[in-house]
Structure 1
Amino acid sequence: MIPFISKEKVRQALQYPKLIHALREAFQQEIITPKRHAHLLSEQANSSLLLMPAWNPSGHTGVKLVTVAPQNIDTPTVHAIFILFDSITGVPLAFMDGEEITQKRTAAASALASSFLSRKNSSHLLLVGNGSLAPHMALAHCHTRPIDKITIWGRSAEKSERCRQTLTSFADLPKGIKIEVTSDLAGSCMSADIITCATTSRQAIIKGEWIQAGTHLDLVGGFKPDMREVDDELMAKSVVFVDTFTGALAEAGDILQALQSGSLKKEAIVAELADLCSGRYTGRRSEQEVTAFKSVGTALEDLCAANLVWQSHQQEANEKASARVFQQ
C-alpha cells in the first residue's frame, strides 16, 4: 500500500534550518521543472486544477496537484496533494499533504533569498498580510537573521491578532522576539529591515517613498499578472531578484506591470535564486541597496521538501522495524 504522509508528519519533517539548507543545495542540482499546467474544471464554479511536475533523472519525480475553487464557503478554496515517484523505476512511493509542503517551502525559499539579500544585522521584520501563510513567512525569516521584533499589518486587525497568536504558538520561534500588531503601515515600512508581503492584493500596498536605504523586500503575493503588492516607484529603486526567471517573467504582477510602465528595466532583474545559491551572483553589494526578491513558486521547491519528508518517513519506519526486532 502506498503510504499517505499527513500534514502533521510533513510539518515535523520540515524544520526550517534543515529545509533552507536543502533548498540551497537543490537550486544547484539537475532538477527539471516544466511549466505548470492549468486547467479549468468548471466554468460555472470557476474552479481549476494545477499540475506542477519536477524530477531529478537519477533520483525522484514529484507532481503537486492543486485544486482552486474560489466559491467555496464551508471548505478552503485551495487543496493540494503531492505524489512522489522513483525516477528510475517509476514506482510511486508516497502521497503527501500538499498544502503544508507549499507553505513550508514558500517560506523557506524567501528565508534562503534573505540570507543573500538582507543586511546581516537585520533585526526588525514587518509582515504585511495575515493569512495562513503569513506566520510561516515570519518564522522562516527568524532562522536566517537575528530578528528581535516582528510587526504585523493587515486590513483586518482581528485577523492580524490571530496571526500574532499563531506565530507565538510555534515551538521553534526563537525566544525573546517582540511581536506586535500595527495599523501604521507607512511608519512600520520606514523602520523595518525586512518587509515580507504575503497578500492577494491587486493594487500596490507598499509605496516606494516609505522604503529606506538598506531595506530588503520579500514579495510572495502577486503570483498572477493582475496582482501586485508594491508600486512602480519601489520597483524602480530596487535591485530585483527572482526565484526563477521563467516563472517571474510569466506570472509576477509586480514585475510585469512595472516592466510595462517602464519603471522597471529588464536589466534591473539581476539574478535568480539558482545564481545566488551557486555563487554566480553574490547578492547584496552594499549596505545602502534596496533589494527585492519576487517569488511565484517553483516545483523544484516542492520536490526538495518532499524528499526531506520521504527521508523522515523512511527513518521512522526503520526505527519501528528495529524496535520490533529488538522486542522479539
Structure 2
Amino acid sequence: MKILDADATRQALPFERLIPALRTMFAAGCEVPRRHVHAVGGGPEAGGFTSLLMPAWNAQHYGIKTINIAPGNAARGLPGLHAVYQLFDAVTGVPLALLDGDEITARRTAAASALAASFIAPPEAGRLLVVGAGRVARLLPAAYAAVRPLRQVRVWARSAAAAQALAADWRAQGVPAEPVDDLAAAVQQSDLVSCATLATAPVVQGAWLQPGSHLDLIGSFTPAMREADDACFAGAALYVDTEEAMEKSGDLLGPMSRGVFSAADVRGTLATLCRGAAGEPGSVVQRDAGQRSVFKSVGTALEDLAAAVLALQTVSG
C-alpha cells in the first residue's frame, strides 16, 4: 500500500493532469452514495467531533474520505478539520493507498472550478479575481491557468493583510498578482470571478459583474451560506457541479425560493458538460452575446476518487 503525506499528495496532483482526470471521471460516472454523518463522542456539543464518510467506487477502484470536524480543537491549539483518503481495489478489496484528505479536497475543488470554466467561460478570459484567501483560494490561479490564458490575477479578502500576503506568495511563484481593496471595482474589471469564502451573506453583487463574465461560487455548501446576491443569477447561464447543489447551497436555495430562477433553468452539470450533453465534448458552450455565466459547486466524492486514482498512478509510474 502506498502512503502519501500532504507534500506527496500535492506533488502527485498537478492541475494539468488533475483537470483531465476529473473530466474523464465525470464523463464515465461512478457510484456516489450519500455521505454518512456520525457524532463521535456525542458530537461537538458533548465535547466530541463530527465525522463525515464520503464513499465512491467504479469497476476498478473503491475510495472513502473520512473528514473529522472538531471545533473544540481551537482551544487545544489544533486544526479543527482533519481528513484522510483510503483507496482500495474494487474487485479484491485490497488497500492500494492512504492519502492526505485535506490536499485531495482542496486540489480537486479548485480543479472542478477550472473544469467548469473550460466549458463555460469565454475562451479569451484572462482577468481573474479571487475572492477569499484560504486554502482553496490560493490554488485557483494555478488551476485556472491550466484552462485559460491568465494575464492578470487579483485577490480580495475581508482581511487586507491576508490578501496582501497571498498576492505576494503568488508573485513569488511568477504569477502577476496584486491585492485589491475595492471589491466592486475589481469585479467590474474582471471576466473571471472565483469566490472561495465561508460567507453567510452575499459578498458579490450582480450589478458589479460585467457582461459576458463568468462567476464561480465555491464556498456556499450549506443552506445558511451565501456568496452571491440574487442579481448574480438573473439572466445568467447557470451550471452546477451535481444536482445535489440545489439541495445544499444557500446561494441556490435562496434565489429559487424567491422565483429568481427554477431548477429547470439550470443548464447542466459537470457530468452533462463532460459527456457533451450540454454541448460538444471539450468545446465552449455557446451563450447569447453578453450573457454572464455562473457555476456553483458543493463538491462530490466522485472528484475525490478521481484525484486519488490519479495520485496513485502518478507515484506508481
- Compute the TM-score of the two structures, normalised by the length of structure 2: 0.93
Superposed displacement of residue 47, structure 1: 2.8
Q: CA deviation at 1:162?
A: 2.0
Letter in 1 for 2:170: L
Count of matched residue positions in the alignment of Structure 1 and Structure 2: 307
Contact kept, 8 Å, 1:139 with 1:167, in 2: the verdict is no
Counterpart of 1:214 in structure 2 is 212
Give the CA RMSD over aligned residues. 1.4
Aligned-residue identity in percent = 40
Matched, 1:79 2:82: yes
Corresponding residue of 2:191: 193
| Corresponding residue number in structure 1 for 2:34 | 35
Give the 3 Å change call, closer, same or farther, for CA 169–99 of structure 1 in structure 2: farther
CA contact (8 A) 2:272 2:278 kept: yes
Deviations 1:172-215 (A, max 9, x none): xxx5x421101100001111000000000000011111111101
Give the Cα separation in 1 of the matches to 2:261 and 2:238: 9
Amino acid at match of 1:113: A
Deviation larger for 44-53 or 144-153: 44-53
Q: Deviations over 1:76-95 (max 9, x none)?
A: 22110000000000111111
1:242-299 deviations in Å (ceiling 9; x for gaps): 0001x20221110011111222222221100011111110234234111000000000
Q: TM-score by structure 1 length?
A: 0.90
Alpha-carbon contact 1:118-1:284 (below 8 Å) kept: no
Offset, 1:169: 4.1
2:13 is the counterpart of 1:17: no
**2:123 paired with 1:126:** no
Distance of 2:278 and 2:39 partners within structure 1: 39
- What 5-or-longer segments of structure 2 have no aligned partner? 280-284
Task: List runs of 5+ in structure 1 lacking aligned partners.
Answer: 316-328
The 3 A distance-change label for structure 1 pair 306 and 250 is same
- How much has 1:65 moved relative to structure 2? 0.3
Distance in structure 1 (CA, Å) of the matches to 2:295 and 2:286: 11
Q: CA deviation at 1:46?
A: 6.9
Structure 2 residue aligned with 1:306 = 308
Instruction: Please say which of residues 291-300 and 157-166 is displaced more in the overlay.
Output: 157-166
1:294 is aligned to 296
Cα separation, 2, equivalents of 1:265 and 1:159 = 37
Q: 1:161 Cα shift?
A: 1.6
TM-superposed CA distance for 1:313, in Å, is 2.2
Work out whether residues 192 and 215 of structure 1, in 8 Å CA contact, stay in contact via their aligned partners in 2. Answer: yes
Whether 2:244 is the aligned partner of 1:238: answer no
- Asked whether 1:98 is paired with 2:101, we answer yes
Is residue 167–residue 177 contact of structure 2 (8 Å, CA) maintained in 1?
Answer: yes
For residue 258 of structure 1, what is the amino acid of its counterpart? P
Q: Structure 1: how far apart are the matches of 2:238 and 2:69?
A: 29
Match of 2:225 in 1: 227
CA contact (8 A) 1:40 1:46 kept: yes
Residues 152, 160 of structure 1: 8 Å contact kept: yes
Paired position in structure 1 for 2:282: none
CA contact (8 A) 2:233 2:261 kept: yes
Distance 2:141 2:204 in 1: 18
**Aligned match of 1:62:** 63
| Aligned CA distance change for structure 1 residues 50 and 145 (closer, same or farther; 3 Å) | same
The one-letter code matched in structure 1 to 2:55 is P
Assess if the C-alpha contact under 8 Å between 2:168 and 2:177 holds in 1. Answer: no
